Every structure is written in C-alpha cells, then in structure tokens.
Structure 1
Amino acid sequence: MGCWLTLLATFLLLGTVGLGWLVNGFLILIGLVILAPVIGWIGFRWWLQRNLVEDKCPVCAYEFTGFNRTECRCPNCGELLKVEQGQFNRLTPPGTIDVDAVEVSVKQLED
C-alpha cells in the first residue's frame, strides 16, 4: 500500500511542478504496453482467418491446411500444389492437359 501511495504522491508532485507531460507520457506508454499485444493478437487472428485454407488434395483427396496464394506440396502424395481462391490446384507445366478418369462399367451384349 505504501508503494502505491509513494507513486501517487510522486505523480501529484510532478503535476504541480509543471511536469504533467512526463506523467501523461508515462501513462500513455503504460497504455500502449497493455493494448499493443491485444490489438496485435486480434489482427493476427483476422489475418489467419482470411489466409488459412483447409481443403483436399486434388490428386489423392488428403485433407490438409495451407496458406492462400502460396505453393506447397501435399504431405501424402508429394504433388506440387498452388493455393488459389480457397482451394488447392495442381501446379502443372504450360500445355499440360489435366483430365479426370471415369470408371465405365462393362456390359456384355448377347447376339
């Protein structure tokens, strides 16, 4: 209790002598030290929500997480992928045609 009273008396003395700007500067510094981590944490979470993408690999359907507008490899099959508009796309050389295989059932026709 005595420590707080001494601190308060020091601030009052500095304010009456004409050094109120020093007290105000100290209080502003304390406010910034308290508020900066809170604002930084909120800003980081906002950025993470906008840039973190969870999707399936288009090759092996393994679900994992990546950052938007970056290139990464699938941890399961090793395919090079690019994260665009919230989904994973294969990164292929120009001129490559990407097709999807479709299974066709076989029917025997009798004569």
Structure 2
Amino acid sequence: MSFKTSQLNFQSIRPWVTLLVIIWLLSALGLGWLVNSLLILFGFLLLAPVLAFFGLRWWLQRSLVTDNCPVCSYELTSLKQTELQCPNCGEQLVVEEGHFQRLTPEGTIDVKAVEVSTPSEE
C-alpha cells in the first residue's frame, strides 16, 4: 500500500474521527447532557418527516370522499364537510355523510324525475 492511498483513506475518515474526539472531550468535561441533547435532536429531525408522512396519509384516508356528482355522474374527490362546484356540469355540491348532495337553498324540495312509458294502442 502506497503512501498516497493511505492518505486518501485517512481523508475519508478524518471528519468522523474528529466528531468522535469532540464527543469524547465533551463527555469527559461533564457535558454529556449536551451530547445527549444533540443526539435526541438529530433523531427527532430524522423521525419527524416519516411520522408526518404517515400521519398525513392517515388523515387523508379518513377525510377524502370520492363519489359521483348527483346531476351528471362525474366522479369527484373532495374533503368531508366542504362545498364545491362540479367541474363537468357546474352544479354546486356539498359533501354530507360521505356522498355529494346538491347545494339547494333552505325550503327547496329536490325532486328526481322518472320517465313513465305509456302503453301504445294499436
């Protein structure tokens, strides 16, 4: 092994050795609490994004509603307890009990039309 390759190997581990020496000195001086605090903070910074990701996924699964528009049957996705406008037909909708309902003024009776066929007389 040549001097140059050993110098390159030492260059790659030098920051880690320096960090270990600093930690050892701080704990020898009675400042181990500082090292522990920094390690806890570092662990929290690594763990917080993972917890936030899974927490956001859990919240979205509980809060998102996917249903069809009651007017044009266009599939929509929205948050619970929100009002929105159907992008297909423009109807104002509100999310109630996991389904989309037409947003109508108080006292309006919503009627569904049914086609009735008449028998043909020959």
State the TM bucket, normalised to the shorter chain. over 0.9
User: Does 1 or 2 have the higher relative contact order (CA < 8 Å, sep 6+)?
Assistant: 1
Provide the residue aligned with 1:108 in structure 2: 120
Provide the residue aligned with 2:58 in structure 1: 46
List gaps (5 residues or longer) in structure 2: 1-12
Provide the residue aligned with 1:11 in structure 2: 23
Deviation per residue, 1:15-40 (Å, 9 max, x gap):
01100011011101101110011111
Deviation per residue, 1:53-92 (Å, 9 max, x gap):
1100001111111111100000111111111221101110
Partner secondary structure for residue 28 of structure 1: helix
Identity %: 60
Q: Which aligned segments of 4 or more residues in structure 1 are displaced greater than 3 angstroms?
A: none
List gaps (5 residues or longer) in structure 1: none
Listed as ranges, the matches of 1:40-79 within 5 Å are 40-79=52-91
Q: Normalized per residue, which structure has more helix?
A: 2
Q: Tell me the amino acid that sits aligned with residue 22 of structure 1.
A: L
How many residues align structurally? 110
* 1:109, distance to aligned residue in structure 2 (A): 4.1
RMSD: 1.0
TM-score, length of structure 1 as denominator length: 0.94
